[in-house]
Structure formats: structure tokens, C-alpha cells
Structure 1
Amino acid sequence: MMKAVIVDDEQLVAEQIDRMLVNAGVKVLGCCINPHEALGMAKALQPDVLFLDIEMPELSGLEIAKLVYADKLDMEVVFITAYNQYAIDAFRVNALDYLLKPVMEEDLMRSLERVTQRRQHRKAAVGTSSDGQRTVTAELFGKFALRLNEGLEPVRWVTSKCAELLAYMLLQPLEKEVSKWELVEALWPSQNSDKAGINLRSTVSRVNKTFRDCGLEITLTSVKNGYRLVLSNGAPAVDAMELESYVLEGVEPDSDNLSRVEQLIQRCSQPFLPEFDSAWCEPYRKQYRQYFLHLGKKLLLYYERIEAEPFKTLRLADLLADHEPYDESLREAAMKLHYRIGGSQRAAAYYEAYAELIHTELGASPSDTLAELLHSLID
């Protein structure tokens, strides 16, 4: 039986989560409304999962999570928050998931499934996978990270250029030979060729040393005029590559893949390689933004088709609109959802906020189609 601890300074919210977890067959070891006591409770009770409210006085859930991971406590963290804006911060501290208030049963069940999967994987692969190989994942959305066996702490790089070089190579076709001139132009465009060449060789050497130190059978191998990323035990699982394959292969969200599509959309809603400011990143950022929006809109249509819970559907519509604020098909979907949730007054308020946004930023007005939709909802 899964064991959980709940930390939320709102007693009623903590009790609600408690009831939902118990109904889901989870053993709740304790509830805590004082954030300063949360870490001690987690250490003493050793739950499988810690449900943490983010917005708490004096000590936030994000700070508590950092302490949990710093102490290498063997538990997952799921955040509870009233604000979607914390999603990126949640994943930066490597939380397994985050739930928006009011917490919906289907969202909670999704998080519990992810906890189960992560725990089973960790037990089956402490240091290695079942066939003796280490599993490797690469995250290009959010801060770049290479993780071993879904470890909490990513691989540490000697310099930021080491991480950038690996990210660049991971985005190339599998084991493609990349010329040293292409790498120099991408990573050291302002340096003269001699100095840039020295930096490239030094960075390659440091990357390979990091691979060896971590016991990874990955190598940046020198070829005639450049380098190739050689992967002895198969390619790492890369979030960007998974998103791309879903889009290019025309995958449609359905009941079988829904959980994975939702996780992928949440993961890929984060900025793409935000810590790198090199010009080579920009075309990839545009490309993967389009992939994200394409798959996200498919998921939104699926939610509409199955008549998913309106708050959940609205969160997705708002998330997509954050990336494409002037897409009126998204605004239409969101306005209908606001009407379902709060009636004509709420729909009208949403329309006015959007009208003010595009007037301020574009000097424009909402389309006739959007205006007509509003009139049809409030008449």
C-alpha cells in the first residue's frame, strides 16, 4: 500500500486531500499544517510520496522540496498549488507532478499512477536496469539535465559549454558526424578559429571524462573532420525527441496514451534550453514550440470530445494560450469553458480581458467570430 504525508497550511484542503487519498487506497501517515514541521515529519514517517502546498507563509513548499532532495530522502514530491505559474518552478526542483486547486480526482489518480511507476522503476533498477544497463534520460525543456535511472540529481558538468555541446549533439540525427567547424560556429562564434578549436577539444575531453566518471557508455568520438556521439547501449530518452515523434507520426490522444500525452505536454510547456543564449538554439525553440502547440491542441480537442472536467480543460487551454496568446481558436475554447464554469458574466469578463490585451499590445480588437460567440453565450 502506498504511503503519503500531506503538508498544507489550509486545514480544509489538507482534509480534502486526505479523504481523496484514503478513497484511492493510499495510507495517509500524517497531515501537517505547519511548514516548519514538514521536513521532520517526512524524515520520521518516510512516506512514498509527500504532497506539498507551494504557497505557505515563511517556508514555501518549493523550499521544503529542496531540503527533501538535499537530504536524499527516498520519496516523491507532488506539489499542490492554486496558481499555474508555479509549474516551471515545480519541475525545476524535480517534483514528480503538481496539482492545481481545486484538486480533481482524475488529476490525483494520475499523480498516484506516476508515483507508482517511479517507485517500481527505482526498486527494479537501483543503479542499473533489469538487464544490467543504466537508463539515461535527457531533458531539453526547462534547464538541461541528463539523469541516470530517473535520479533526483542530474549529472553535473564542469562548464556550461559541456552541457551545451551535449545538448547540441543530442538534437542531431543518431550518431551523425558533426564537423568541428559547425560546432565551433554554433558554440564559439565570436572566437578566432585557433582559440575556438582549443575550447572545442577541451570541452569534448571534459564531457567524455564526465561520461566515464558516471559509468556511462556514451562517447564523443573524434572522426575525420569532427565528432560523433556514440551510444553503446542505445540512445537516451530525450523529451524533445519524444514530442517530435508524437507530432510527426500523427499520434492522436486516446484512453491508452492519455497519461503520457498529458505528462509530455506539461513537461514541454517549459522553455526550451533556457540557459543557453547561443543563436543556434532559436530555430529549435521555434520548431519545438510549434510541435508543443500542435500536440497540445490535439489534446484540447480530445478533452472537448470526451467532455472532460471543465476546470481541467480550461487549465490546458490557458497553458496553450500562454504560448500563443493571439490564437483565437484557443480563446474561443477558453471562453466557452468560462461560460460552462461561471456563466455569462465570467465569459464576458474573459472576453474583456482578452480585448484589453490585444488592444494594448497590437492596437487591435477581437475578431467578429469571437465577438459573435460572446453574444451567443450572453443572450
Structure 2
Amino acid sequence: MNVMMIDDERLALMQLEKLLKEFPDVSILSVCRDPYQGLQLVEELQPDVLFLDIHMPELSGLQIAERLQEKGMDIQIVFVTAYDEHAIEAFEYNALDYILKPLQRERLLKTIQRLRKRLSPPGAAESAPSSQPLVRTLPALAFDGTESSVEHSKWRTAKAQELFAYLLHHRGQLVRKDALLDLLWPELDEKRGMTHMYTTVYQARQQLKRTGLGLMIRNAGLEDGYVLDMNGVQIDTDEWERLVALSEKEGHLPPASAKRILDLYRDDYFGDYDYLWAESERQRLRLLWFSYLKRQAEYDESEGHEAEAVVLYQRMQKQYPYGEESYFALMKLYDRLGDRAAVEEQYSSLSRLLQEELGIAPQARIMLWYQSWAVRGDRRTGRTSPV
């Protein structure tokens, strides 16, 4: 691994350099005492690892880390300092480790082992992301294009998961730290809340690194907030909306694209979580989904694909059991197919559900249609109508 060191203390640099030379897989690119010169050299040499002191004149190690992060440089940072009060803040800048002076070889060895694992993960060739990485939100967070989508969906804490979900919801936009504090830690004072937030941001960043997809939570510098950079990774809702808009424009899509729409929308947006801030988007996407299913089912009916239309109406019914339109559409479709028992079952199921759950009857137009249908059938069969 190629490493650099920046520290204004000459003796500290000498000690660290001596210890690092004991590791045969470590190559020292530069040793620098001037923080500004060091920052320039980091940008030029692009080391794998940067050992960085925190307390330096004019430009601190934390400021250097922030500038590197803003430039999107993928460098493993190890803070080396005589003070421990900046540990939480240091991890906000995605530090791999935080070592206290005076350095101990045994402690440095642990850091080197962590770096080896990070820079040369076992099975790296097999765990490369797929050609089309995707973040899923319908209905739960998951990462497609990783070795194990299930494993990479296990968040260390619920707060880390919600923080990432909120940044994903506002992807590419600045999310201020005070907004995150109000959302996730409204009961804590500012100092305690900031401590929790830095730890949670660090946990979320580590989780994203494990996915290998290139997603990055970036400090927004002067704006005192965070921005989630997608770096080419798609989110399922964007792809889904694009296909739905295309279907609306074209009237219908090829079978593969239509199937993709159904596969993407597994259920409501963040439907597995009680995120109140997602409710507006959840409702918007739900209405689009309902409209698409209805439009596609009607198209299938017009083309004589009754079986496909039944499947779509049943899916609408399963996801939105109180939506009367799916029952009514199936009643009319089963009538055209001559399946009287199925018509009666749909009307009976709807009436029972609405009465038991809401204490109401079906819409008047549905009741009138059913009564008219029943009368027509009774005239053909000679039976007395039950309605």
C-alpha cells in the first residue's frame, strides 16, 4: 500500500516512518511537515493511505480531510494525534482509524491489518458489482449489484438506516445538519445530538463502502450539511417512473419492459418503515402505480389478454384492498368471460370488507351495476334475484 504522512512534529513523523518501514507491504511516498504542501502532494501522488495529524498550525488535519472528501478522493485516512477529544468528529470524515500518540507498534499493527483488509478484500473479484447497480426502496432498502444484497441491507442501527434513507430521498441536494438533528434526535440537546449524528454518519458511510457501489455521503463544507452523491448508481423509483412515463406516452410497452415495471414496484415506497417524511412521495408513487396497473390491465383486456388483466387487477386488490375499482373491474371482466360465480365472489368480498372494516356499502354505481347484472342473469335462468 502506498502511504503518505502529514504532521508538523518532526519527532512524531520520524517515529511513524520508522514503524511503517517494518511492514514490507507499505511503501512511503512522502513525509511532510507543512499541511498546505502536504495537501498538494496528496492530490498529486494519490496515496492509498494518509496518516494525518489533527492539531497543525493554519490548516488542521480535519480541514485537510474535509477538502479531500469534497474533491471525492478515495483515500483511507488514519488520524494520529495526542488528543482524543476529536475522535467522534474525525470519524465524520470517514477515517479508517484514530491512533493516539505516543505510537505503539502493536496498535499500529492493528491499523495496518485493517488497511490490508480494506484495500485487498478477500474474494474481491467475485464480489464486483453488477453492470447496473441499483438501490431499492420499494418497499425496503436493498442494494442490487453486490455479492449479497441481503447482507448489505443489514444496517448497524435503525438511525443509520433512516439517515441514509433520508439522504437518498434528497439525493444530490444539501441536507443540513440541523434538519437531521430535528428529524432523528429531537429530544437531545445540540451537543449530544451532534455526537450521535457524527457516529451515525460514520456508520452509514461504512455500510455504503461495504456495498462497493460508489455511493458517497459528502460533507457540504460551508453549508454545514451533507449531500449523497449517487455516482451513477440508479434508484428503483427513478427507473420505474421512467418506464411508466414511457408506457403512458407509447400506450403500451414490450413484454420485457412491462415485466420490469411489475418487478420494480414490489410495494409502497419505504413501505416497510414508518418514515413519516416519506408519506407524500409514497402517496404520489402509489397513485402512479394504481393508474399504471389500471391502464395496463385495460390494454390487456382490449387485446384479448384476459388472463394477464386478471393478474393485474388482483395485484391492485392485494396491495390496496379498499380500492373498489379493482373489484368492479374484475366483476365486469368475469361477466364478459361468463363466470357468474367469480362475479358474485368479487361483489361479496367487497361488500363484506367495506362493511366489517369501515361500516359502509359499496359505491352506488357498483351496487346498481351488480343489481342490474343479477336481474339480467335471473331472466336468462328463470331464478328469483337475491337483490
TM-score between the two structures when normalised by the length of structure 2: 0.56
Q: What is the rounded CA distance, in whole Å, between the counterparts of 1:302 and 1:335 in structure 2?
A: 17
Q: Find the aligned partners of 1:333 and 1:134 in 2 and give their Cα distance.
A: 40
Aligned to 1:358: 354
Distance 2:213 2:239 in 1: 22
Secondary structure, aligned partner of 1:229: strand
Distance 1:126 1:255 in 2: 38
Alignment-mate amino acid for residue 288 of structure 1? L
Residue 230 of structure 1 aligns with an amino acid whose one-letter code is D
Aligned to 1:161: 159
Q: Structure 2 vs 1, CA of residues 207 and 369 (structure 1 numbering), >3 Å: closer, same or farther?
A: same
The code of the aligned residue for 2:331 comes to M
TM-superposed CA distance for 1:244, in Å, is 3.3
CA–CA distance in structure 2, aligned partners of residues 286 and 328 of structure 1:
17
Look up the match of 2:328.
332
Contact kept in structure 1, 2:173 and 2:227, CA below 8 Å = yes
**Corresponding residue to 2:343 among 333, 347, 356:** 347
Superposed CA offset, 1:194-251 (max 9, x none): 222222211211222233344443221111220011234x1x2212222334456673
* Residue number among 160, 174, 177 corresponding to 2:174 in the alignment: 177
Aligned-partner Cα distance in 2 for 1:225–1:330: 48
Cα distance in 2 for partners of 1:179, 1:356 equals 49
Q: Does the 8 Å CA contact 1:127/1:149 hold for their aligned counterparts?
A: yes
Distance 1:191 1:216, change over 3 A: same
Percent identity among equivalent residues? Answer: 22
Report runs of 4+ in structure 1 exceeding 6 Å deviation: none
Q: Paired residue for 1:230?
A: 229
Q: Secondary structure of 2:134's partner? A: strand
Is 1:371 paired with 2:367?
Answer: yes
1:322 corresponds to which residue?
318
Residue deviations 1:68-111, cap 9 Å, x none? Answer: xxxxxxxxxxxxxxxxxxxxxxxxxxxxxxxxxxxxxxxxxxxx
User: How far apart are the structure 1 equivalents of 2:254 and 2:149?
Assistant: 25
Give the SS at the match of 2:135.
Answer: strand
Q: Distance in 2 between matches of 1:214 and 1:348?
A: 50
Computing the radius of gyration from Cα coordinates, the structure with the larger value is 2
SS in 2 for 1:191: coil
**Alpha-carbon offset, residue 126 of structure 1:** 5.7
Q: Is the 8 A contact 2:322 2:354 kept in 1?
A: yes
SS at match of 1:165: helix
The residue that corresponds to 2:288 in the other structure is: 291
Q: Could you tell me how far 1:180 is from its partner in structure 2?
A: 1.0
Aligned to 1:251, the other structure's residue is in SS state helix
2:29 match: none
CA contact (8 A) 1:243 1:292 kept: no
The 5 A counterparts of 1:1-379 are 127-128=127-128, 135-149=132-146, 151-155=148-152, 156-172=154-170, 174-223=171-220, 224-232=223-231, 234=232, 236-247=233-244, 251-252=248-249, 256-310=253-307, 312-341=308-337, 343-378=339-374, 379=376
Is the alpha carbon distance of 1:194 and 1:338 closer, same or farther for their aligned partners in structure 2, counting shifts above 3 Å?
Answer: farther
The equivalent of 1:43 in structure 2 is: none
Instruction: Provide structure 2 residue ranges, at least 5 long, that are not aligned to the other structure.
Output: 1-124, 377-387
1:371, distance to aligned residue in structure 2 (A): 2.8
Deviation, 1:171, is 1.7
Per-residue displacement from partner, 1:296-339 (whole Å, max 9, x unpaired)? 222222222212133x3222112213344444432221112333
For 1:152-178, what per-residue CA distance to the aligned partner results, in whole angstroms no more than 9, with x for missing partners?
544143223222222222222x42111
Q: 1:157–1:163: 8 Å Cα contact kept in structure 2?
A: yes
Counterpart AA for 1:157? W
Instruction: Measure the CA separation in 2 of the matches of 1:255 and 1:315.
Output: 17
Deviations 1:20-50 (A, max 9, x none): xxxxxxxxxxxxxxxxxxxxxxxxxxxxxxx
How big is the shift at 1:292? 1.7
Secondary structure of the residue aligned to 2:339 is: helix
Structure 1 211/267 Cα, relative in aligned 2: closer, same or farther at 3 Å? closer
Secondary structure (helix, strand or coil) at the match of 1:369 reads: helix
In structure 1, what is the Cα distance between the partners aligned to 2:186 and 2:246?
A: 35
Residue identity matched to 1:169: L
Counterparts in 2 of 1:341 and 1:370: CA distance versus 1, 3 Å: same
Q: d(CA) in 2 for partners of 1:275 and 1:193?
A: 30
Following TM superposition, by how much is the alpha carbon of 1:139 offset from its aligned partner in structure 2, in angstroms? 1.0
- Tell me what 1:54 maps to: none
CA distance in 1: counterparts of 2:230 and 2:357, whole angstroms: 47
Q: Distance in 1 between matches of 2:362 and 2:211?
A: 54
